[in-house]
Amino acid sequence: MHKWIAFPHKEGVCSKQAHADFPEEAIYEREAGREGFFGPAAHFHHQHAPTGWSEWEGELRPRAFNFNLVEKAVQVSPWIVPNLLHNADCKIRVWRMDQAMDFLVRNADGDELLFIHQGQADLYCDYGYLEVKEGDYVMIPRSTNWRIEPKEPMFILMVENTGSAYSLPEKGLVGNHAVFDPAVLEVPSINDKFKAQYSEQTTQVQMKRHEQVNVITYPFNPLDAIGWHGDLSVVKLNWRDIRPLMSHRYHLPPSAHTTFVGKGFVVCTFVPRPIESDPGALKVPFYHNNDDYDEVLFYHAGDFFSRDNIEAGMVTFHPAGFTHGPHPKAFQAGREYKKKFTDEVAVMIDTRNALNFAEEAQQVENKEYVYSWKQP
């Protein structure tokens, strides 16, 4: 834990508190914050939009990728698809498949988090049978055997928690049942569908370790458990069961929407909610420097109210160290309070250490995204 140098101070013309009642002569607020909105912060009031650059040179720029176009995402095995964005703590990839797996896979490198962007399937694993569908998160503990039988074509966002385990966020003052009650988490069942797949047929397990795949052959199907007990399992959560924290008078930071915590990163979920109604409250995400984290947003569904020309299946990347925030039209619409409700669904991954880009990601990058904050 840091012993931060703390000296709350006001200088010049500024609002009484963050994200509300801005001075008329400087409507653009910028937050410079540490430790992903949990550390000390300063709130500046600017006469011009902090994203109003006219040119950008260098590689540390905001980026947008269209993951719908990743050709190598179409594979029979998740271990063949490339790591699109990655560091030592976190591997992000997309996987598209429409045929039943006749083998099992196992990730010995870390917990795997699947987000079902499209499709519906039967998932079989060491713990039993689980039906998965669009909008589900499926957390698969490290070294679990599993396979998928699609009922329709699948588009899956995969987030590996390399070398570690996923946990739920601390909920503090709002209590354990806020955002989502752990009672909504579903686990696999050893039911008739699971028992029906018992067999003495030769079965292969593709085990990934240090990004290398080992193939283990059994003269039977290893998914043969007749029961289990304990508090470790595959678990499922659908975004529709998330009930977001809201304030009609204050725009909450992204950290309030944390869903899972990994080693060196967090996974947040933005779901539909009313927009702040207080006349002085900010109505769109505030301009901010997230100076300790890279920010990745995967857009799942709805109208992405702070972005222009972004569609479902696309990803934006905002590196640590620069100011980002709503696009100009979204900022103006927020000032005019044109929308009373946001229907967007998006997955955000904030990583403590810098992310690298695979060639496959660069091939589907929109190189003009850095200029999308220019005034129309």
Verify whether residue 251 is a known catalytic residue.
yes
- Cα distances from 120 to residues 130, 242, 304, 365, in angstroms, run 11, 20, 24, 28
Give me 315's structure tokens: 């990803």
Rounded Cα distance between 301 and 311, Å, is 8
| 288 annotated as belonging to a binding site for a ligand | yes
Rounded Cα distance between 308 and 329, Å, is 8
| 257 annotated as belonging to a binding site for a ligand | no
> How distant is the alpha carbon of residue 284 from its chain centre?
19
- Residue type for position 240: R
> How distant is the alpha carbon of residue 363 from its chain centre?
21
Rounded Cα distance between 146 and 225, Å, is 13
Rounded Cα distance between 127 and 122, Å, is 13
Which letter, b or e, does each residue of 40-71 get, where b requires 16 or more Cβ atoms within 10 Å of its Cβ?
A: ebebbbeeebbbeeeeeeeeebbbbbbbbebe
Rounded Cα distance between 97 and 150, Å, is 8
Rounded Cα distance between 200 and 197, Å, is 10
- Residue type for position 312: A
| 294 annotated as belonging to a binding site for a ligand | yes
In the set 19, 43, 86, 251, the catalytic residue is: 251
Binding residues for homogentisate, by number, are 324
Q: Would you please indicate which residues are annotated as catalytic (active-site) residues? A: 251
